């Protein structure tokens, strides 16, 4: 375990130093968690909200962290769960048709001031958004974060064989989607 993680774990046991710990967590993990969340929820404003929810949940549950996994893995899991919850709530709230949903993502991304990709990148994000949750998470972690299957297993708790299958199915679906919509 890296030194900062070890130091953070020591501070966890001291309730007087938890605020110091939290400030260090926010400083160290805000940017990588933001980009992970942003790759899932897509919108800058939504990613900011989900990031804030992630840190609030981490703070609330800080005493329950037992150190069985890396602290960053624990935070990552919270961020992914918060992102997926956000997406489910949005889908239920808007109840838009799948055609409008798919067409809307590319348009929303291109109009987003914080999106720096082109139409091809927007189409890729749209294809990724059509994947079921687990396939989307596995694809994002493997493709963008270049995580190895054992690391993804630690975050998602799914067998490595199932993760490999999910990734390959996701790649196939994305490829088909892009071919169909070019």
pLDDT at residue 106 in the model: 52
pLDDT at res. 175: 94
Domains for the chain: give ranges and CATH numbers: 1-98 (1.10.1740.10), 117-181 (1.10.10.10)
**What DSSP letter does each residue of the chain carry, written as one string?**
--HHHHHHHHHHT-GGGHHHHHHHHHHHHHHHHHHHHHHHH--HHHHHHHHHHHHHHHHHTGGG--SSS-HHHHHHHHHHHHHHHHHHHHHHHH---HHHHHHHHHHHHHH-TT----HHHHHHHHHHHTS-HHHHHHHIIIIIS---HHHHHHHH---HHHHHHHHHHHHHHHHHHHHHH-
Task: Specify the pLDDT at position 99.
Answer: 45
pLDDT tens digits, residue range 17-50?
778 777 878 898 999 999 889 888 878 889 999 9
pTM here is 0.70
């Amino acid at each position: 375990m890296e030194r900062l993680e070890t130091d953070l774990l020591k501070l966890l046991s001291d309730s007087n130093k938890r605020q110091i710990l939290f400030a260090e967590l926010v400083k160290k993990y805000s940017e990588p968690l933001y980009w992970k969340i942003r790759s899932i929820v897509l919108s800058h404003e939504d990613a900011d909200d989900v990031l804030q929810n992630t840190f609030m949940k981490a703070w609330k549950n800080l005493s329950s962290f037992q150190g069985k996994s890396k602290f960053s893995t624990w935070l990552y899991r919270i961020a992914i769960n918060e992102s997926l919850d956000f997406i489910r709530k949005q889908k239920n709230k808007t109840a838009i048709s799948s055609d409008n949903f798919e067409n809307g993502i590319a348009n929303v991304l291109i109009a987003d001031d914080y999106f720096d990709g082109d139409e091809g990148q927007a189409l890729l994000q749209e294809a990724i958004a059509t994947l079921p949750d687990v396939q989307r998470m596995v694809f994002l972690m493997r493709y963008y974060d270049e995580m190895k299957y054992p690391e993804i297993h630690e975050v998602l708790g799914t067998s490595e064989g199932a993760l490999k299958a999910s990734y390959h199915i996701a790649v196939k679906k994305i490829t088909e989607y892009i071919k169909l919509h070019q």
